[in-house]
């Protein structure tokens, strides 16, 4: 996915990721807590903090299967950007939320009433951990960009490739050493590096690092899902409660209706290009659970309650991946979502490139643009800044002036 599609929908992505995940955690925790009060076996063993933790865990989406299908079919770029961006930032928020709930649980020490001081401490911990990871990741990404831009390291591709990979990994170590979350730091480091550092690399290093990270990504995904499958049968401390599993599935099916639809309707009030009902349905269907939910659940199985949360999460992960991934193509057909959009966009780009090359402004923009932007992209950015948004046949849909200014700043 090109980064301009990501940033052109940044308002919707941030809303769905931050507000949506927080609402999901609170709603899931409250609903599960209320339903468990109806069971004698569960009402005495599950606290509200356990339900909130389960809400944070299960709110982490990982639609890797759906995104792979989207990529193969060249689905509408806005839908792809929304699903991809929401899932990436959603994982970061879910991780920090889970840590904050555990922080509150340790401070409240199992108290049956709410502790005001513990709540304030947990909120501050959430803000500190998240923005600390954001700062560390962004700083390391920008530092890598400066090193690759103002040094002669590009003349030594092996050294350049090694430096790029080690700087990326050191972001994780620095965040963990600062008692923040390394995964979130690496996420924002990757965003900065993709936006700034990658264009400073030599062509050989670009090819090498791209291949290397694609290999790591493929191996990690396969290992993770293999480990999830093996754990289902080899983990010896499963605690199964059919009532809790049924409650979790009912909640998992219902909560998107209270999360995605209201937020998308609110976003449509300010968007020039609205999120259609079919895209809302697909966003809800794409909320698969995967590696992040599994990792958050398995890291603490010290009590029977935590073991039950892990076992339930494992069932939900397997069920959503199999059902959601298997029916994704059919859902695209049922919802009449356009596919093959990338091929059409290439033709539009060629026409825009020809149009821009005939004008002095277009020639200058093409000459000044960085390597990863062509003349068509520059022309589209200028059209977006001038207010030609969401016209018939337009491909990039910008939401606000800050986004347009950000793009204009980057292409100069």
Do 294 and 392 sit in the same domain of this protein? no
Assign residue 97 the CATH number of its domain.
1.20.1530
Q: Of 313, 334, 355, at which residue does a domain stop?
A: 334
φ/ψ (deg, to 5) at 61: -95, 150
Do 63 and 106 sit in the same domain of this protein? yes
For residue 300, the SS3 value is coil
Alpha-carbon distance of 247 to 293, in angstroms, equals 17
Q: Which pLDDT does position 284 carry in this prediction?
A: 84
Question: Two tokens at 218?
Answer: 């493929």
Closest CA to 248 of 31, 21, 23: 31
pLDDT confidence bin for 55, thresholds 50/70/90:
confident
Most confident of 166-175, 379-388, 401-410: 166-175
pLDDT digits (tens, 9 = 90+) for 298-329: 888 888 888 888 988 898 888 888 887 788 88
Question: Percentage of the chain surpassing pLDDT 70?
Answer: 78
pLDDT confidence bin for 396, thresholds 50/70/90:
very low
Burial profile 200-229: b = 16 or more Cβ within 10 angstroms, e = fewer? bbbeebbebbeeeeeeeeeeebeebbeebe
Q: Is the pLDDT of residue 109 over 50?
A: yes
Do 250 and 105 sit in the same domain of this protein? yes
Instruction: Decide which of 248 and 65 is more confident.
Output: 248
Q: Which pLDDT does position 140 carry in this prediction?
A: 93
Q: Which of 55-69, 102-116, 228-242 is least confident?
A: 102-116
Tokens 């093959």 sit at which residue?
340
State the DSSP code for 18.
Answer: I
Q: pTM of the entire structure?
A: 0.73
Q: Which pLDDT does position 81 carry in this prediction?
A: 85
Q: Is the pLDDT of residue 46 over 90?
A: no
Q: Is the pLDDT of residue 136 over 90?
A: yes
Q: What distances in angstroms separate CA 144 from CA 6, 40, 214, 369, one per listed residue?
A: 22, 56, 20, 21
Q: What distances in angstroms separate CA 408 from CA 199, 237, 365, one per listed residue?
A: 17, 56, 11
Do 92 and 139 sit in the same domain of this protein? yes
| Residues 109-120, mean pLDDT to the nearest whole number | 65
Q: Which pLDDT does position 241 carry in this prediction?
A: 81
Alpha-carbon distance of 51 to 40, in angstroms, equals 16
| Residues 11-17, mean pLDDT to the nearest whole number | 86
Instruction: Decide which of 336 and 346 is more confident.
Output: 336
Number of domains in the chain: 2
CA pseudo-torsion sign 173, 179, 183, 187: negative
Do 239 and 323 sit in the same domain of this protein? yes
Mean pLDDT for the chain?
77
Q: Which pLDDT does position 254 carry in this prediction?
A: 65
φ/ψ (deg, to 5) at 81: -65, -40
Query: Pseudo-torsion of CA 251, 257, 260, 266, nearest 10°?
Result: -140
Q: Is the pLDDT of residue 343 over 50?
A: no
Angle at 58 between CA 131 and CA 278, to 5 degrees: 95
Closest CA to 278 of 339, 204, 210: 339
Do 390 and 314 sit in the same domain of this protein? no
Do 297 and 228 sit in the same domain of this protein? yes
Q: Of 268, 299, 334, at which residue does a domain stop?
A: 334
| Residues 318-343, mean pLDDT to the nearest whole number | 80
Q: What range does the domain containing 355 cover?
A: 341-410
pLDDT confidence bin for 404, thresholds 50/70/90:
low
Alpha-carbon distance of 358 to 293, in angstroms, equals 52
pLDDT confidence bin for 365, thresholds 50/70/90:
very low
Closest CA to 20 of 277, 324, 262: 262
Do 309 and 276 sit in the same domain of this protein? yes
Q: Which pLDDT does position 144 carry in this prediction?
A: 92
Do 95 and 228 sit in the same domain of this protein? yes
Q: Which of 32-46, 102-116, 243-257, 335-349 is least confident?
A: 335-349
How buried is 310 (Cβ within 10 angstroms: 0-12 exposed, 13-18 middle, 19+ buried)?
buried
Do 218 and 351 sit in the same domain of this protein? no
Do 321 and 346 sit in the same domain of this protein? no
pLDDT digits (tens, 9 = 90+) for 292-301: 888 888 888 8
DSSP string, 192-226: HIIIIIGGGS-HHHHHHHHHHHHHHHHHHHHHHHH
Question: Two tokens at 166?
Answer: 């080690």
Q: Of 312, 334, 356, at which residue does a domain stop?
A: 334
pLDDT digits (tens, 9 = 90+) for 250-301: 766 666 677 888 888 888 887 777 888 888 888 888 878 888 888 888 888 8
Do 160 and 58 sit in the same domain of this protein? yes
């Amino acid at each position: 996915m090109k980064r301009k599609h990501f940033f052109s929908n940044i308002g919707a992505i941030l809303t769905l990721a931050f507000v949506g995940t927080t609402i999901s955690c609170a709603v899931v925790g409250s609903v599960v807590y209320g339903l468990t009060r109806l069971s004698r076996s569960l009402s005495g063993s599950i606290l509200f903090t356990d339900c909130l933790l389960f809400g944070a865990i299960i709110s982490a989406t990982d639609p890797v299967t759906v995104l792979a299908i989207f990529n193969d079919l060249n689905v509408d770029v806005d839908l792809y950007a929304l699903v991809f961006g929401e899932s990436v930032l959603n994982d970061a928020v879910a991780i920090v939320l889970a840590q904050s709930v555990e922080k509150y649980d340790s401070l409240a020490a199992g108290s049956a009433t709410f502790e005001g001081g513990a709540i304030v401490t947990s909120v501050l911990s959430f803000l500190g951990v998240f923005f600390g990871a954001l700062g560390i990741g962004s700083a390391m990404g920008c530092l890598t960009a400066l090193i690759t831009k103002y040094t002669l390291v590009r003349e030594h591709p092996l050294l350049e490739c090694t430096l790029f990979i080690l700087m990326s990994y050191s972001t994780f170590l620095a965040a963990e050493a600062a008692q923040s979350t390394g995964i979130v730091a690496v996420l924002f480091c990757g965003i900065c590096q993709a936006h700034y550092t990658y264009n400073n690399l030599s062509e050989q290093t670009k090819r090498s690092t791209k291949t290397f990270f694609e290999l790591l990504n493929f191996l990690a995904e396969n290992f993770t899902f293999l480990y999830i499958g093996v754990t289902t049968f080899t983990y010896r401390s499963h605690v199964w409660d059919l009532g809790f599993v049924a409650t979790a599935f009912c909640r998992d099916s219902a909560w998107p209706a209270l999360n995605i639809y209201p937020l998308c309707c609110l976003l449509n009030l300010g968007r020039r290009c609205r999120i259609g009902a079919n895209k809302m349905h697909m966003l809800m269907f794409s909320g698969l659970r995967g590696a992040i939910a599994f990792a958050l659940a398995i890291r603490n199985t010290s009590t029977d309650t935590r073991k039950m949360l892990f076992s339930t999460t494992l069932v939900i992960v397997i069920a959503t991946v199999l059902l959601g991934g298997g029916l994704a193509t059919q859902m695209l057909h049922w919802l009449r979502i356009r596919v093959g959009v990338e091929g059409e966009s290439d033709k539009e780009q060629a026409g825009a490139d020809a149009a821009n090359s005939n004008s002095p402004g277009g020639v200058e923009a093409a000459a000044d643009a960085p390597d990863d932007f062509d003349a068509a992209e520059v022309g589209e950015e200028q059209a977006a800044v001038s207010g030609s948004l969401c016209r018939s046949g337009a491909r990039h849909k910008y939401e606000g002036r800050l986004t347009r200014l950000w793009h204009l700043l980057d292409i100069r």
